[in-house]
Structures are given as structure tokens and as C-alpha cells.
Amino acid sequence: MSNLDNLTQKILDDSRNEAASIIEESERLTQELINSKIKEANDKKSRILEKAALEAAMIKDRVISNAELSARDEILKAKQNIIGKVFSSAKDKLKNISEEDYIKFLKNRLSSMKLKGSEVLIVPEKMREKVKKLGLNPSVSGSETVESGFLLKDGNIVMNFSFDSLVDFLREELEGEIARELFKG
């Protein structure tokens, strides 16, 4: 029996060695698989973090850009408001122009125009008597008035020289220059 025992022992030893080898190979493969999955997870984590960082930077840039646009818009609104007040103030000052300055303005404008003599001059009520005393060629309307400046009416044609209209007409031309003066630097 010793041959049989030896043979059995050899088979058992071979089986144990093979089982140990299989277990060792299985543990090695398991560890490789675990390491591979850890590496894969770390790579995925890195890609996700990079993508999140890029998205965060884009969002930050967008927020900053929107804030800068909003600030610029608010500054432009404030500047437009100030310019509007300048023109409004100019209109108010022109409405309260002295009689002497008004007469100079009226004579200067009328002298530069080719009048037929059939025109009617419409002036502010407070200036009507003063203008009538000047004895100007266009007759002064006794019933119609204008708030400031004057109107020259010839039939259905009305030439508007009211201060509001003149300021509004010149506004586009003067706005840039006024803005440069007001907002230097």
C-alpha cells in the first residue's frame, strides 16, 4: 500500500499545490481587477472634476460679464438721465429768457429769412406787446401764443422756432459733445 499511499499523497499534494496556485492566481486577478476599477474610477473622477472646473469657470465668466454689462447699462442710463436734465434745464432757461435776449433772438432769426409779408408771427403772451412795438414786417398774432421762441405761420405752413423744438432738433448733434464735456476722464 505504500505505493498507493504515495500515489494518493502525491495526488493530494498536487491538488493542494494546484488549489493554492489557483487561489493565488485568483487573488492576483482580483487585485488587478480592483486596481483597474480604482484607476478607472480615479480617471473618471478626474474628468468629472476637470469638466466641473471648466463649467464653473464658464459660469463665473458669464456672471462677471453679465454684471459688467448691467453696470455699464446702469452707467449709461445715469449718463442719459444727466444729459436729459441738461437739455431740460436748457429748455427751462430759454423759457425764462430776458426780454432783451428774446428780442435779439427774434430779430436775428427774422433777418436771416426771406419773408413775403403775409406771414403771421406767433410769440409768447408775455412778449406779445413788446414785439408789437418793434413794428416788424410779419404781423403779430393777437390770439395765438407759443410757450417759448416763436412760430411763423403763412397759411397752412408753420415754421416752428419754439425753443423746445430747437433744442430737440439740436439734441442729437450736441449730445455727444455735451457727454464728452460732462464725463471727461
pLDDT attached to residue 185: 65
Q: Are residues 141 and 111 in the same domain?
A: yes
Find the domain containing 49 and state its range. 1-96
Give long-range contacts, CB 8 A cutoff, 24+ apart: 23-32.
none
What residue has cell string 434745464? 89
Give the DSSP letter of residue 141. Answer: P
With H, G, I as helix, E, B as strand and everything else as coil, classify residue 161: strand
Residue 1 has pLDDT above 60, yes or no: no
Domain tally, the chain: 2
Judgement on whether residues 124 and 38 belong to the same structural domain of the protein? no
Collect all residues with Cβ–Cβ distance below 8 Å to 61 and sequence separation of at least 6: none
Q: Is the pTM of this model over 0.75?
A: no
Residue 159 grid cell: 415754421
pLDDT at site 24: 92
Using DSSP, state whether 120 is helix, strand or coil: strand
| Residue 60 and residue 8 in one domain | yes
Across 32-46, average pLDDT? 93
Residue-wise pLDDT tens digits, 77-133 = 988 898 889 889 989 999 889 999 999 998 888 888 888 878 889 999 998 889 888
